[in-house]
Structure formats: structure tokens, C-alpha cells
Chain A
């Protein structure tokens, strides 16, 4: 950085050394000014809440507020830990995310390869547009779509079942089926989007390599196996690692709009975010909720650091910092 500045303006570097900080600020006042709204924004909405983490260590009462309530140390965490709640939530969150990450990437790669093989231009365009549709809708609508398909009384699946003379199916009272259903719904929503990334990566494969492989007699399967898949490997690894960094961060909108406040399904569908949200907004149990939130932030931070470290080892260009 300094060497560039040197080249640009040698004399200013000398004065900068002497007059230092304030001189620098005045010199770059316009650029600083351009950053100011963003700096204020993140200060107001991301840094200002940080002292409030203290609420995880008190027994919150309204009159006292965060800093006037009784300090209880790690009691809030102890309760969550001994009741097994923390473990259940963490397990659910991580398992769902693992399924989303692994299956999501597999399906996306699979879809990208298929799309790449198709030749009918119009067909390709239309189908891609259709596949992209779920990405554009709110999770509220996703919740309604799922409810339309699956609810006991009017749901589409049950209409088909009764028309076939079969018994009705009531997934909204059956916790076991939801891990599969939610993973399917998530794949449905995001595959159109994520396959684009891989599709673009495939388009970057040198067509001459493929041509010459064909001339050498490689068939279609071999082309995919030995040329396209290896070419996707770096993208897959990097995206997987970044996704792993977010493994304890759940997709709140997805879960909350599909499951909502249906306690029958919590055992298999409650993730950290949904628990925290209910504890905050329904039970007003601020101390417990923030204890879970703080725990999540710490683990989440550690995961990002670890994953970024690994990325840096493999591919320094892609590391975040």
C-alpha cells in the first residue's frame, strides 16, 4: 500500500510522516466522508448491541433493564446445559446445515452438469427461469406452499391419497418426517440459485480441452468424470468450506414459517434461531434467549476462523482475511 502511495505522491509521504494523523484525515476527508454512512450504520446496528451481551449473565427484570438486573454469572448457561436443551438445539442446527450443505452442493453440481449438456437453447432458458423462481419468494410464501401441499384437510397430497382410496397422511403431527421434508424444501428453494455458480464454473472450462478429449475417444461419461468434475473441484471445496463456517447459523425464516409454533414438531425441527426467537418474542425470557445467542455467536465465530484458516492454506487468494 505504502509503495503505491509512494509512487503516487512522494512529497506527501514525507509530510505525512511529520504531520501524521490529522493531516491524513484532512487529506482523505472526501473518501472518509463517503464511508461515514456505512460506518455509522454498522456502529448503530451491529456494534451498539454488543454491550447488551451482558444480559446473558443476569437475571433480567424489566425495571432494572440490562445493566440494573441481578448478575448471576453462568447460571443461564448452566440451566441450558444441564437440561440438554443446548445440545439438542446444536445437534439439530448442525445436522440440518450439514444436510443442506452436502446435498445442496451435490444437487447443484448435478444440475449444472445436466444443464450444460442440454443443447436446446430455448428449453434451457425456460427451464432455468422456472428453476430460479423459488429463490425469489419470501419464506412466508414457502410456508404457505408447503402447507398447501401437506395439510391434513385440504392439502394436495391428501387429495391425491383420498382419490386413490388411500388413508390421509398427517405430517403436521408427525415429527419424524420433517428432517427429510425440510431438506427437500430447502433444496427446492436454493438449487436454482446455487447451480448457477457451478454452471458458470463449467462454462469456464476450456472448450478445447473437451474437444481434444472427444477426439481422443472419451465418451460422454468420461468427459464428465475426468474433465468437468475435476474442474469444479476448487469451487466446490471453497464453497463447502465457507458454508462450514456458518454451520451453527440456522435458516430462521425457513424453519419458522414451515413449523411455526407447533410444539409437536420441535423435537426434530427446533434450531437455535427458532428457540431464541420464541424465548424472546413469546416467553420474554431474555436472559435464556441471549445465553443461547451468545453461545451461538462464540461457536459461529470459531467456526468461521477455522474454516478461513483452512481456505488460506489451500487457496490464499480466496481467504476472507
Chain B
């Protein structure tokens, strides 16, 4: 009742804004999805029709040929295995380290917290650049063609640790105090009192980490040469798009000449398979991202 009374009548300006809003947001949202539909449609088309008519929103001739070729003999399963193992273990390991560090650095009675925070933060202010990093990884650490060269650098970023610190800040220091009074050690306090309260933080930061691993192609492009058979998914996609030989390797195509190979539709099908899991998952995980962004956005 009260609410209705307070409601102000809409005047013409509101209606204009609203109508404009619906139209504009609809167009923009469709523009966000459209390129994906183009890939989806083309991946189910025959190569012949793509070469004549161009990419297909609705395939004029429907076929699952490209998918069959990829699934039958290629490297995609190996790529899936590499990416899934890295994503799962990297997220778990990175998240544990970030959570521990974030908590310790937020403890007011920890005398080294400022200096360690600065030590970590400084790395995002000043970096040696690509060449020293590349030479260190390949010559000193000897990580050329090693999955570790891809796995390790993605474990954490200064920004994610700061984000974790901001989440921890919201937990009152009294929680730690009460643990101390009960005689628990710092690690026990962290595990049994703090960690359960950090669930939203773990979800958000875990998603950022997982997304980083799933979408990783950069470290792979630096350190994984053709001697590595199974590349992470996105770098596999990169090679399929950019190197015709990799495209050939990605399918069991010993008997097909390059001319007969359905290059375009194969690229699209590989793209769909590399991105598919994220696209299907993301409506469910979106809300965690939104929570994380709004907390971490300004102080990042």
C-alpha cells in the first residue's frame, strides 16, 4: 500500500529513456552473442558451401563432419587433458597460496605485513620485461617445452592477492582473537575459523584463476615448441588457426591432401570445442564474478 502511494508517476522522459534502453540493450546484447553464433553455424556447415557463400549463421548444408574428424583422431583429447589438469590443480594450488598469504598479510599483529605486501605489490609496478624473463625461464630454469613453464607463472598475481586481502579485511580481527584465546595456533585459526568465512572470496578468486588457466595461450606460445604434442586448448586453437600444419595434425588426416581439407569448418569446430565448456558454465558462475568485481574493482 505504502509503496504504491510513494510511487511517482512516469512522465514522458522516463518513457523515452526506458524505450531507448530496451532497444539499445537488446541490440548490444545481440551484438555480443552474434559472433559466437556465426562460429557455431559455420562449424556445422560443409566446407564447400563456406567457400562459396562465406560463413554461415544457419548452415545451408548441415554436417558434423568437422567435429567427427577432430574427435576421431586428433590431439584435442590430449589438449583437454592438459588444460583440465592444469586448470584444476593450478586453481587449487594458487587459491591455497593466495588465501594463506592474503590472511597473513591482513593480520594486524604480523609485523612484516607491510614489507611483504610491498615486496609483492612492487612486482606489478616494475618488471624486467619479456627478454630477461624468457632467458631466465629457458636458460636458467631450463623450462623450455615443459608444462611447468605454463603452469607455474599463472598460479598468482599481485592483484589477486590484494583482492584476497580486501575480502579478509571484512572479517573482524576478533575472530582471530577468539581463536587465540581458545589456544589455537595461527594455522589452525586460518583453517578452521577464517577459511569457512572466505567462501565467496575463494569462489571469486578461484574463478579468476580457473579462467586464466583455461584461456592460457601466451606462456604456451613462449615456451612450448612443436616438440610438445599436446598443447593447452587455447594455444592448440591458436596453432590450428594460424599454422596449416597444426591444423593437419589436429585431425587424423594422413589420407587427405591440404586442398581437400575442410580448413575453415575445422577451425570453427576446434574453436567451439575449446570454448564450449566455459560458455556453458559461465551463466552459473557469473554472479561470483560480479561479487568479486564490485569488491576488487576500485582497489585493484
Interface residues in chain A, defined as those with a beta carbon under 8 Å from any beta carbon in chain B: 1, 4-5, 8-9, 24, 28, 30-35, 37-39, 41-42, 44-53, 55-56, 65-66, 111, 114-115, 117-120, 123, 126-127, 129-134, 136-141, 143-149, 153-156, 158-159, 162, 188, 191-193, 196-197, 200, 211, 214-215, 219-222, 224, 235, 238-239, 242, 252-253, 257, 260, 276-277, 280-281, 286, 289-290, 292-294, 296-297, 300-301, 304-305, 318, 320-321
CB of B17 closer than 8 Å to a CB of A: yes
Number of B residues with CB within 8 Å of any CB on chain A: 110
Q: Are B185 and A197 in contact (CB under 8 A)?
A: no
- Which B residue sits closest to A66, measured CB to CB? B135
Interface members, chain B 253-297 (any A CB < 8 Å): 264, 267-268, 271, 274-275, 278-279, 282-283, 286, 289-290, 293-294, 297
Q: Are A154 and B55 in contact (CB under 8 A)?
A: yes
Question: Do A45 and B153 form a contact, CB below 8 Å, given A37-B97, A141-B271, A159-B53?
Answer: yes
Question: Do A38 and B35 form a contact, CB below 8 Å, given A140-B237, A155-B54, A193-B293?
Answer: no
Contact partner of A149 (CB less than 8 A), chosen from B35, B97, B129, B132, is B35
Question: Do A154 and B28 form a contact, CB below 8 Å, given A136-B211, A219-B11?
Answer: no
- Which A residue sits closest to B207, measured CB to CB? A136
Residue of A24, A56, A130, A321 ringed by the most chain B CB atoms within 10 A:
A130
Chain B facing A: main interface SS: helix
Inter-chain CA distance A100–B101, complex, in Å, is 33
Q: Are B13 and A220 in contact (CB under 8 A)?
A: yes
What sequence of 0s and 1s flags, for each residue 25-53 of chain B, a beta carbon within 8 Å of any chain A beta carbon?
Answer: 11011111101101100100000001101
Contact partner of B16 (CB less than 8 A), chosen from A31, A220, A296, is A220
CB of B103 closer than 8 Å to a CB of A: yes
Q: Are B22 and A31 in contact (CB under 8 A)?
A: no
Contact partner of B131 (CB less than 8 A), chosen from A129, A148, A192, A290, is A290
Give the 3 A-B CB pairs with smallest separation, nearest first. Answer: A293-B129, A52-B132, A159-B54
Q: How far is the CB of B203 from chain A (nearest CB, A)?
A: 16
Question: Do A1 and B98 form a contact, CB below 8 Å, given A38-B156, A132-B286, A290-B132?
Answer: no
CB of B238 closer than 8 Å to a CB of A: yes
Interface members, chain B 89-128 (any A CB < 8 Å): 97-98, 100-101, 103-105, 107-112, 114, 116, 118-121, 123, 125-128
Inter-chain CA distance A33–B130, complex, in Å, is 30
Listed stretches B64-72, B74-82, B215-223, B244-252; interface member: B215-223
Chain A facing B: main interface SS: helix
A-chain residues with CB within 8 Å of residue B299 when the two chains form the complex: 318, 320
Question: Do A35 and B279 form a contact, CB below 8 Å, given A154-B264, A280-B134?
Answer: no
Q: How far is the CB of A125 from chain B (nearest CB, A)?
A: 9
Inter-chain CA distance A127–B28, complex, in Å, is 9
Residue of B18, B132, B140, B141 ringed by the most chain A CB atoms within 10 A:
B132
CB of B190 closer than 8 Å to a CB of A: yes
Q: Are A28 and B217 in contact (CB under 8 A)?
A: no
Contact partner of B17 (CB less than 8 A), chosen from A39, A131, A211, A221, is A221
Q: Are A137 and B136 in contact (CB under 8 A)?
A: no
Question: Do A118 and B187 form a contact, CB below 8 Å, given A133-B32, A297-B127?
Answer: no
